[in-house]
Chain A
């Protein structure tokens, strides 16, 4: 008798944990912006029709991500107009594409730029042009508002993402020693943005081991330290520390000066920058144009996209470099370019969920979750009262072989990913299902270059990056990793090289006719 009742009493109180049982919302959504089909088309070239039209340009830019758009920006800024940019997707922007609904604009992938240091001159030049940097002062409205970041661990939220609460003495010591090491690397001048300006053979040995091994050898692998280092690798490279070059792992920390309180961000993430670039060069951009073949004919290149043959004197190949062997005649197989598969989602929230009494921040991360958490698109709003919002959810499929993760991305349906995302969020927002009305999911098979060991000092990568002729490569993967600054740098550099050739072989006045 007693035991039976006791059981029920306990069950009764357990039922209280799920105190308010409300009906879940019906959640709409689906996959968006899928581009797998394009990749698969490339495998079978025969299906592309022969060209019916021919266009002539001095320069054709292939790929409308940040690298391609930056090349276009530079050409345009120098008064050069005879170029076209061909983008495979319907929307330009690459990893900086954005979405918009009745609530807010929101990013689909890249959502911030760290406040650039003095060496990132092209980035600073762009931001001065866009009014984000005025007389050396950053626009307060473009810097991420307070409170910026939080981490959920041990059942509560803390400020900032580096674990700071509940640390053992050992972990505290390890974080301290790590900071010292990074300080040393930072002052060595070898870890810069753009990476090319500081890259030095002295640090080549770091590229031969994994970041995980480097940390282990120095006894910096306690639980919280290990989690944080892996989080950083997943966040910037879509890889785990054991699969990241130690050079790249160190670069993440040592390349940036302790900065103005940043980063720079906008509701649509780096889509804001894309919009500004499109305002300038949009008339040169042709979207929905998948380049399926680039062939050299005498001294000219023919770039085939859709039913058009674009004849060009110069080609800037700003699309991911791994596509080159499938598209560019004469480019052999590449071995040193690996990419991380990613998944992002935009969740429409009808109201903000409960969150263990903490103020919502811009970037919200949960310790020990396989995902990277979410970013709030209305965080940069000056409104006092926000009811509905959009969260952009990030998930780098970093564990295990990239190929099987890509297959997983393709095989599982939308419901599977929606459930996985909500399940992950439920841990910190138990009532999330009563708040979300829509979950749109975007799958990236090759989201970003993965700097595996030996990728940074790869001879193949170096060779392609230095190509300086009628065909130039410009994707950020030539730096070994995909960040805004590297993409912009590669794009601008390619444009500058082309401009040197053009002014050498043409009368500048015929090409640089200003309006």
Chain B
């Protein structure tokens, strides 16, 4: 019995430590400030253990019976603690309350374990040996757990499954104790039945753990996530609510299917319809194929070249039925040539000329994206414009990021281009801005493709009017060696969110 008993001590010590580490890690992940989280959790946990130890003196009879019950409850509560905390964070306001409650309950139970166990065996051994052996194995268990946790458990199993695995160990100890202390137990059969039930519960939990984490993550997006993919370059998420499909790249909304036609009609037609014979078009960015869909409305177009960094993005929008119905299978047109590469080096090395160039990149949220909004980049793009050619640049919101918008306009001017800024209202984005730029004068077209839902010849001139709250701001240009745009953009959005 000796060695089995001490292995029991080792296992329960490991379980106790793991639950505490899980609570600390989860709180650090989700709330930040790991020093505060670990300190308060360790404090609460130790204090609760003290309460457990103090309470152990009131347990007078049926020590083995109560020990088995404690292990069962620890297995159940500890095993599901991580899953409960994840779900609580995603769906409720009470994450911290639940976390400290769980820490206290687990702490009390763990605090009860060792004193009870020592009393159960004190008759078979000298007191001196009991203390020495129990504490030795308590040490070893804790050491094992503290090493396993960061090296194996967190990277391999994750927090939800680690908790469940150790819950299973606690219940295992309960089950095994019913045999170990069979003589001291009046109703071993009932207890064994309960153990098996909890083992089943945890087993199912272990198998479904991925679903639990996914459910928790889903709730961070408002709608149902229909597709989530990590590519080499970005995190792509598609959501759907009724008929509204939304695309997020790195958590930034790219379009909502309910109003994207406003954005894409406004991006393409004011410029493209003004080109007398647009035969060759170039799209930089725009891997969703929606800009290409609009470009293909011009029958004169002979070829559309699309340069987008992420092959996974263009593949999705070429093959996923829900997405190809959105972009009208634009990527399947024989006129369209997709090139998956970095835009700036491509623009530098390619020598083709185009009648219409669309620059549709994500907003300048980083210095690396900011390079695609510099005088150097626009000069390089301008070399691709044919004699009648125009380019259009998606230029963030002149309302929410007014400095940024006018900085982009100034950058195009400093690149030696004439600029024609305009803006439209897109409900899911708010007020949105674009700039047409070219080396020759531009005037809004009077004839547009048929079947447009938003842009009309009559409505065009108004788009080029800026009311006082969006009117031009004096801004320096954005240069590779002085990326004022990235800092302005950061400041613009900070001003709004505060």
Contacts and interface: CB of A to CB of B under 8 A. Distances in A.
Interface of A: 1-2, 4-6, 8-13, 15-16, 18-21, 140-141, 143-148, 261-262, 359, 381-387
Contacts of B369: 384
A8, A11, A384, A386: which has the most chain B beta carbons within 10 Å? A384
A19 B481 contact: no
A2 B49 contact: yes
Contacts of A1: 53, 114, 135, 138
Nearest to B37: A13
User: Could you tell me the dominant secondary structure of chain A's interface residues?
Assistant: loop
Contact of A140 (B49, B146, B344, B376): B376
Contacts of A140: 374-376, 479-481
User: Could you tell me the dominant secondary structure of chain B's interface residues?
Assistant: helix
Contacts of B345: 381-383
Contact of B138 (A5, A13, A147, A383): A5
B376 A141 contact: yes
B497 to A, nearest CB: 18
Nearest to A382: B344
B20, B345, B481: which has the most chain A beta carbons within 10 Å? B481
A4 B138 contact: yes
Nearest to A18: B150
Contacts of B143: 8, 11
Contact of A4 (B135, B149, B376, B377): B135
7 contacts: A12-B146, A140-B479, A140-B481, A147-B367, A382-B348, A384-B309, A385-B342
Given A5-B142, A8-B139, A9-B45, A15 B481 contact: no
Contacts of A9: 17, 20, 42, 45-46, 142
Q: Which 9 A-B pairs have the closest CB atoms?
A: A8-B142, A143-B481, A12-B146, A146-B483, A382-B344, A140-B376, A261-B482, A383-B342, A145-B480
B42, B146, B374, B486: which has the most chain A beta carbons within 10 Å? B146
Contacts of A20: 150, 154-155
Contact of A12 (B21, B135, B343, B483): B21
B491 interface: no
A287 B456 CA distance: 70
Contacts of B13: 5, 8
Given A4-B138, A16-B150, A385-B232, 19 more contacts: A1-B114, A4-B139, A5-B13, A9-B42, A11-B142, A11-B146, A15-B149, A15-B150, A16-B21, A16-B24, A20-B155, A21-B151, A262-B481, A359-B367, A382-B371, A383-B342, A384-B369, A384-B372, A385-B233
Contacts of B428: none
B124 interface: no
B38 interface: yes
Nearest to A143: B481
Nearest to A6: B46
Nearest to B376: A140
B53 to A, nearest CB: 8
A13 B49 contact: no
B344 A19 contact: no
A147 B147 contact: no
Interface in B292-310: 309
Interface string B24-59: 110000000010001000100110011001000000
A384 B20 contact: no
A384 B366 CA distance: 10
A431 to B, nearest CB: 13
Given A141-B480, A359-B367, A384-B343, A5 B145 contact: no
Nearest to B152: A21
A144 B146 contact: no
A20 B156 CA distance: 11
Contacts of B486: 146
Nearest to B151: A21
A384 B38 contact: no
A144 B135 contact: no
Interface string B272-311: 0000000000000000000000000000000000000100
B51 to A, nearest CB: 12
A169 B309 CA distance: 49
A124 to B, nearest CB: 18
B151 A12 contact: no
A145 B38 contact: no
A19 B29 CA distance: 12
B205 interface: no
B167 interface: no
Contacts of A18: 150
A360 to B, nearest CB: 9
